[in-house]
Structure 1
Amino acid sequence: MTRKQKRLSILAGFAVVLALATTLVLVALRDQIVFFYSPSDIAERGVAAGEPIRLGGLVKTGSWTRVGETNDFVVTDGQTEMSARYVGILPDLFREGQGVVAEGSVTPTGSFLASNVLAKHDENYMPRELVEELKRRGEWEPEDVALGASR
């Protein structure tokens, strides 16, 4: 083998090792990826029951009920609504009419069972994905709600 062929074979070996490592990392992370959906996206795409997702939208005014640590509320994107249930203590900033992102899965009955609830940091915050969805539909009102804006 010439010197040039040795270098080329070493580079090819490194490329194979790098491709193998990248493949292993992506396969390992595949189960950790959680996609964001609005209630309309879930209705349109038919998300499978039990698949871990993030549900984002606004907590519908007048929909939140609490019995002990069981919290039932409705998440809406202005077009579609989805009932959600969370067992546990909600964040202090959780309120009706405010932005929320709930991690969990859709149940076989079509409701959402949350394993974690994330509330917005102030009354003007809304998840970026929800803002993009509202803009796509032409329902975005920037004077009422701003992405991450502070008072």
Structure 2
Amino acid sequence: MKSLKKKRRVQVIVVAAVALTVATGMIGYAMRDGINFFRAPSQIMAEPPAPGEVFRIGGLVEEGSIVRGEGETIRFVVTDGGASVPVTFSGVLPDLFAENQGMVGTGSYVNGTFEATEILAKHDETYMPAEVVDALKEQGVYKEPSGS
């Protein structure tokens, strides 16, 4: 009688372990599209991402680089002080999007141009996304905000 209980207990433990493994695998599989890695322009130029890979780019919008094209297409250049990457975006830009301001975009790198599907801009005089600040500090071009 004792051995039957022991067998049943072992079976329950094995089934629970298998179910936990399958659940973990399914969660990882579902999240693979939701994870976007951040890259600075210097990193993109040093190691171009795979075609179709969705990631985030961040830096400062270069002065004089914003060109509004036909329709809603906007072209501009993002820099971290070490390298620059041309960006295209079709859609409505955030109100605070401007030259010499921090931005983060989500999209993919196609034929030497970052094609953004989403653009985020700073929301007040002192805010800049932490990823952008870190990338600018690495390049040695980050300046502490004044007037705080």
Tell me the TM-score range normalised by the shorter chain: 0.7 to 0.9
Superposition misfits of 4+ residues, deviation over 6 angstroms: none
The 3-state SS of whatever aligns with 1:112 is: strand
| Contact kept in structure 2, 1:98 and 1:123, CA below 8 Å | no
Structure 1 equivalent of residue 18 of structure 2:
16
Q: Does residue 83 of structure 1 match 2:86?
A: yes
Displacement of 1:132 in angstroms is 2.0
Structure 2 equivalent of residue 148 of structure 1:
none
Gaps in structure 1 of 5+ consecutive residues = 146-150
TM-score where L is the length of structure 1: 0.85
Structure 2 equivalent of residue 128 of structure 1:
130
TM-score where L is the length of structure 2: 0.86
**Higher alpha-carbon Rg:** 2
Q: Which amino acid in 2 is paired with 1:56?
A: G
Structure 1 equivalent of residue 8 of structure 2:
6
Structure 1 equivalent of residue 55 of structure 2:
53
**Identical counterparts, % of pairs:** 46
Gaps in structure 2 of 5+ consecutive residues = none
Task: Give distance in 2, aligned partners of 1:4 and 1:131.
Answer: 58
Task: Give distance in 2, aligned partners of 1:30 and 1:18.
Answer: 19
Q: Does residue 44 of structure 1 match 2:46?
A: yes
Displacement of 1:4 in angstroms is 3.9
Displacement of 1:43 in angstroms is 1.2
| Contact kept in structure 2, 1:99 and 1:120, CA below 8 Å | yes
